[in-house]
Every structure is written in C-alpha cells, then in structure tokens.
Amino acid sequence: MTQPTIEEPLGGAPHADTTVPPSLPPQLSPRAISRARRRQAAARAWQEYRRNSIGMVGLAILVLFVAMAVFAPLLVPESELDVTKATGAPFSPPSAEFPLGTDESGRSVLALTIWGSRVSLLVGFLASVISVVIGSVVGIAAGHFGRWTDSLLMRVTDWFLVIPFLPLAIVLATVLGPSLANIAFVIGITSWPGTARIVRAQALAVTSRPYIERARALGAGDWHLITRHILPNVVPLIFANTVLIVAVAILSETTLAFLGLGDPLRVSWGSMLDAAFTQGAASIGAWWYLVPPGVAILLVVLAFTMIGQALESVLNPRLRGR
Amino acid sequence: MAATSTRTFRPSAGQRRLGAKLIGAALSLAFVLVFNFFLFRVLPGDPAKNLTRNRLVPAEQVEVLRESFGLGKPLPQQFAQYVRDTLSGDLGISYKFRRPVSEVIAERIWPTVLLLGLSTLLSTAIGLWIGIRGAWRRNSVFDRVSLGASLALYAMPEFWLGIMLLIAFGVGVGPLPGLFPTGGLSSPDTELASLAGVADVARHLFLPCLTLTLAYIAEYALVMRSSLLDELTEDYLTTARAKGLRDALVLRRHAVPNALLPTTTLIFLNLGFIVSGAITIETVYSWPGLGLLSYEALRTPDYPLLQGVFLLFSAAVIIANLIADLLYAYLDPRVRTG
C-alpha cells in the first residue's frame, strides 16, 4: 500500500493544504478552486469505489429496488391492491396467474411486494434524513462549542443511546398514532445518537486544528467556521453513516409495522408480514405470503450495508489498509 | 494505615469516574420517569375516561379514578404523586387485565429472563468464537462463509427468521411433520415441577431460543471480528511473535483479551437491541413473557401497562449498562487508574 498514514480529517479540507493541483488554471476564484477540488475528490472516491466489488453489487441491488419502487404503477396497476377487486382465491399457492400466490383476501402477493417497496424505502429514507440531520447538528454543536453545550448534548445523546429502541419507539408510535410520517419521525428521533457521537468526534478533531485558530484570528465567526471548515470535513463521514442508517431504518419500519404500528392505509413489507402473521399464514404453511417481503427486506438491507461498508473503506483512510 | 486515614478524603480518578457513572445512571432513570409522566399527560383524551371506556360507569366512580390520578391538582403536585407512586411500585391499573400493572408484569418476568438469558449466553459464546476464528484466519473459507452468513442474519428482521423457523420446524413443510411446538411456554396439562414438565418447557423454549441466538450471533461475531482485526495490527503482537511465542498463545494471551474489551461494552450496549428482539420473537412464538405482554398492551392499547413495561425495560438496560461500565473499569487497568 503506497498510501501514507493520513492524519488529515476525512475528505481533505480545501483550506488545509496549500498546493494547487496543476490541472487548475491559476486565475480561478478561491471558491471555484475549492469546488473544483471537491469535484476531483468525489471523482477519485468514485474511482476507488468502483474497484470495490461488494459495494458495486450492493449498488446494483439497490438501483433495482429503487427502480421497482419508482415504476411500481407501470408494473402493476394500483387497482390490484384493492381488496374489493381481488380476483384470486384466499391463500392460494403460486400459480401461472399469481406467480407468488395470493394473500388472505385473494390479492397478488407479487403486486403487494412491488407496491410495498415504496413505503418501506420512503420511510427508510425519510427517517434517515431526520436522524442524520439531528445527529449532525447535535454532533457539530457539541464538538465545536464544547464546554457545557458538549456535556449537556452528550448527556441527552447517552440517554437516547441507552434507552432500548423498540420499547421507546412503541410508546411514541402508540401515542402519536399510526401514519407514514409518524413512523418516520419516531424512527428518526430514536436513531440519531450514533451519528451524533461519530460527528462529534470528527468535529472535535477538526476544531483543534491550527487552521481553525487562524481562521478565528482572521475574524471568522462560529457560523463561518462550521459551514466552511467543519462541515466539509464531516460530510464524507456523515454520508457513509447515512447509508448504514437507512438499513437500520428500513428494518425498524418493518418491525414497527409488524407490531401493527404502520400506516394502516398503505402496504409496506412490514405491514404485509403483520397481515400474514395475524391472519395465520404461518400455521397453514402459506410460505409464499411470508417469503417475498422478507427476502425483499433482506436484500435491500444487505445492499445498504454493503454500500455503507464500501463507502467507509473508501472515505475513511484508516480502514484503507484493511 | 493510620497515615492515610487522618488525611481528608480525596477521591481517586477511579472513584470520581465511578461517582460520575452512578450519577449518570441515576439521571438516565430520572429522565425515563419524566418522559413517562409527560407522555401520559399528552395522551389524547382523559386518562380516567380512557380507563373506563366501553363500560357503563357511574359518574362518581370516574371522579374517584380522576382523584386517584391526581388530575384535578396542579402539574407539579401530579408529578410528585406520580414519582411517589412509581417508586413505591404502584404503576396504575391495567386497562386490559383490570389488575395492578406491577402484578401483571411480575408474572411475566421469568419467562423473559429464561429466554433472553439462555440465548444471550449461547450467542455470546458462539459469536465470539466465530469472530475470533474469522479474524485470526482472515479471508479463509471459514471467515468468508461466516462473514456472509453474519451479514445475511444481521440484515433480516429477527421475527421473520422466527416465522421461517416456525414454519420449517414447528408447522412442518409438506410431508414432514413439525418437530417442535409452535407456541406457548408448556403444554396445557403438564405439571411444571416434574421432569416431564421441564422437558416440555425445554421443547417449547427450543425454537424461540434458536431464533434469538441466531439473530444475536451475527452481531457478536461481526463486532468481535473487527475488534480483533484492529488489535492484530498492533506492534505488541509482532513483539510477542518475535520473542518466539506460538501462534495460539499470541492469540489467546495477547490479542483476544485486549479485543474483548471493546466487545464487552458493545455487548452490554446491545441489551436494548436484545430487548427489542424479545418483543417480536415472544410475539411470534406466543412465549408468555414481557415481550408478548408489550405486544398485547400496544394492540389494546393499554397505556398504563405499556408504560410500566417501558419503565422496566429502560431501567433494566440502564442498570445493565452501569454494571458493564463498572466491569469494564475492573477489566481494563488503564480505565481503573487513569
């Protein structure tokens, strides 16, 4: 490995090094230079990512599922989800007409699985956005301001970290009532502490660097320091972390929906498993109703995990030698 | 030592750390209480009405209930009463069972302790073994297979794994009959306090325990593997080898004890995750513990019961984490003295 041990924060701050890459014309403004550098860094990261076969397999699976979710109305008309228009017999095994069999009211399990991908992925993404935004804000604030802000925020973070996730989520979801937005909110509000911890550590490392002191001496305020210096250094880390959070969020949605806390008006993989289980699909051996949503969850979560790990090994120099 | 006892008490770094941990755990418990109190107050509707819904109750009886909740009083007084009641073990009356929540919960603790204890023990032992072997022989066939299996197990919802195992071994596939009972703690007419009774409970325990063990193994194997891989890059291992220690000794005496430290904390931090698993798995196998009780409470919904279970789960995990911290200080001299 020719890569030297890098003590730099992740991503390489635009202000941290002074050499201008030879490919850039010298007359550009500082902002244009930093933007071009960031583009170059992203291109380099992508080059490295492409060499990671596990990451590419994960990406392929994910693209497939996202396409399925986006084009669901083209693949299967929404009317197939209507219980009153169901044509099949209840709990009939896979056949030519219903490749994955039917559910308790005679609907196609294939259609349900395709449509279920929409809610599962949407809740996963929404919850991750909420979680990552809270985690990043808390982490950066704690790391940058330090002192009592840090102790207070870390106290709250530790509390959320130690409280068992599912009981807390159940209590919150029961109080808020079942809906897509509430489920995303509950998962987001309970899953941010990990991100906050990671971001805080990175923000602390950046804040203690001499160039931050220099910027402060030149009159930079907290807002400038955070948005121009700390954030660019933390973003790659947040990015890799987000991908892993989506995996956890999708699993959480499934669990909450399985317990009957999902949106009752929409089909998700978790609500399919809930319906299948409460309607007794397991005791009559209707595996075709239970296997497709489970396999879909497994593949999507696996895809996110693979992408997240690949991203981490690309973006975190410490892991590169592994 | 007379010389030290005459000096004023100066806490050492270790004692200060211990004090901070105790205060931290107490604060976390206090947070749980406050959270629980306000959650109860923002619930839609009048708690006293919720309690009596679907029943014809004379107005004066509702008034008595409202009195017992302290709803007429100002909020600080309500809070004081709530804390007093909770600390003395009075968690209210369950809507569903129409009995004190603490009574209902007490009956359900042991099945959960049995299930979680056994599966945690098994999964820790097996998971750590797999993780150590995988990291030590990195990229071997064993490592690749176990890593793949761990990632797959980690990616599936544990209750789905439970349902699959239930179909395969409980219900039976095609001509194969089910080998194990599909739910419950024991068969209806067996005497629990007999040899046949114990065997019957063991047969009922097998599938839920297998599911949880499989679900947790993945996590422990992955954590132990990466922790040991971190440790294997350290210079002191090169030294150990250079002075002529056999490979097995380098692993057993040097690498593993150090790699176990971060793993211990993670195992205890994972207790929250384990509790979550208990809720869904007990639901799948109708195992009559706290997890199934939570499910029944949220399906009703039975708020006092739900909050009682949440309080108990949170307190258990907070205390377990405190124990982990103390254990960690005992295991790691750097933390103890530093």
Domain-wise residue ranges, chain B: 103-337
Strands (E), chain A: none
Arithmetic mean of pLDDT, A254-278: 88
Residue B66 is predicted with a pLDDT of 64
**Taking 80 as the threshold, does the pLDDT of residue B12 lie above it?**
no
**Taking 70 as the threshold, does the pLDDT of residue B188 lie above it?**
no
Q: How many CB pairs under 8 A join A and B?
A: 134
Q: Which of A155, A175, A260 sits opposite B27 (nearest CB)?
A: A155
Interface test with B, best of A151, A154, A171 (most B CBs within 10 A): A171
Q: Which of A247, A259, A294 sits opposite B160 (nearest CB)?
A: A294
Contacts of B314 in chain A (CB under 8 A): 163-164, 167-168
Residue A78 is predicted with a pLDDT of 77
Residue B256 is predicted with a pLDDT of 84
B155 to A273: CB separation less than 8 angstroms, yes or no: no
Contacts of A270 in chain B (CB under 8 A): 157
Nearest alpha carbon to residue B275 among B320, B307, B305: B320
Calculated CA dihedral for residues B12, B15, B21, B26, nearest 10 degrees: -120
Whole-angstrom Cα distance, residue A90 to residue A103?
6
Q: Are the C-beta atoms of residues A111 and A97 closer than 8 Å to each other?
A: no
**Taking 50 as the threshold, does the pLDDT of residue B139 lie above it?**
yes
Q: pLDDT band at B237, cuts 50/70/90?
A: confident
User: Any residues with CB less than 8 A from the CB of A295 and at least 6 apart, and which?
Assistant: none
A167 to B310: CB separation less than 8 angstroms, yes or no: yes
Query: What residue has token string 């798995």?
Result: B281
CATH class in words for B103-337: mainly alpha
Whole-angstrom Cα distance, residue B13 to residue B329?
11
Interface test with A, best of B225, B276, B292, B319 (most A CBs within 10 A): B276
**Higher pLDDT among residues B37 and B74, named by residue:** B37
**Å from A25 to nearest chain B CA?**
42
Helices (H), B72-194: 75-87, 101-136, 141-155, 158-165
**Taking 90 as the threshold, does the pLDDT of residue A222 lie above it?**
no
How many percent of chain B have pLDDT more than 90? 5
Other residues' Cβ atoms within 10 Å of the Cβ of residue B262: 18
How many percent of chain A have pLDDT more than 90? 18
**Taking 80 as the threshold, does the pLDDT of residue B180 lie above it?**
no
Supply A120's token pair. 């599962």
Residue B134 is predicted with a pLDDT of 87
Strands (E), chain B: none
A174 to B306: CB separation less than 8 angstroms, yes or no: yes
**Taking 90 as the threshold, does the pLDDT of residue A131 lie above it?**
yes
B269 to A161: CB separation less than 8 angstroms, yes or no: yes
Half-sphere exposure of B3 (CA within 13 A, CB side): 0
Residue B46 is predicted with a pLDDT of 57
Arithmetic mean of pLDDT, A155-170: 86
B272 to A247: CB separation less than 8 angstroms, yes or no: no
* Nearest chain A residue (CA) to B312: A167
Supply A115's token pair. 């449509």
B309 to A162: CB separation less than 8 angstroms, yes or no: no
Contacts of B159 in chain A (CB under 8 A): 255, 258, 273
**Å from B74 to nearest chain A CA?**
23
**Taking 50 as the threshold, does the pLDDT of residue A192 lie above it?**
yes
Q: pLDDT band at A13, cuts 50/70/90?
A: very low
Query: What amino acid occupies position A123?
Result: V
**Taking 70 as the threshold, does the pLDDT of residue A15 lie above it?**
no
Contacts of A164 in chain B (CB under 8 A): 271-273, 275-276, 313-314, 317
**Taking 80 as the threshold, does the pLDDT of residue B264 lie above it?**
no
Whole-angstrom Cα distance, residue B147 to residue A102?
35
Interface test with B, best of A120, A168, A170 (most B CBs within 10 A): A170
Nearest alpha carbon to residue A271 among A11, A137, A81: A81
Residue A9 is predicted with a pLDDT of 46
| Cis upstream peptide for B301 (omega within 30°) | yes
**Å from A11 to nearest chain B CA?**
22
**Å from B184 to nearest chain A CA?**
14
How many percent of chain B have pLDDT more than 70? 79
**Taking 90 as the threshold, does the pLDDT of residue B39 lie above it?**
no
Residue B175 is predicted with a pLDDT of 65
Contacts of B157 in chain A (CB under 8 A): 251, 254-255, 258, 270, 273, 294, 297
B310 to A255: CB separation less than 8 angstroms, yes or no: no
* Nearest chain A residue (CA) to B41: A175
Arithmetic mean of pLDDT, A4-26: 50
* Nearest chain B residue (CA) to A54: B148
**Higher pLDDT among residues B157 and B89, named by residue:** B157
Supply A296's token pair. 């879909």
Arithmetic mean of pLDDT, A121-126: 92
Most confident of A86-90, A132-136, B7-11: A132-136
Q: Which of A171, A258, A285 sits opposite B280 (nearest CB)?
A: A258
DSSP B190: -
* Nearest chain A residue (CA) to B314: A163
Q: Which of A282, A305, A321 sits opposite B166 (nearest CB)?
A: A282
Arithmetic mean of pLDDT, B186-193: 68
B159 to A290: CB separation less than 8 angstroms, yes or no: no
B279 to A166: CB separation less than 8 angstroms, yes or no: yes
Q: pLDDT band at A237, cuts 50/70/90?
A: confident
**Å from A220 to nearest chain B CA?**
36
Q: Which of A158, A164, A298 sits opposite B314 (nearest CB)?
A: A164
DSSP A91: T
Q: Are the C-beta atoms of residues A201 and A142 closer than 8 Å to each other?
A: no
The reply to whether ipTM tops 0.85 is no
**Taking 90 as the threshold, does the pLDDT of residue A300 lie above it?**
yes
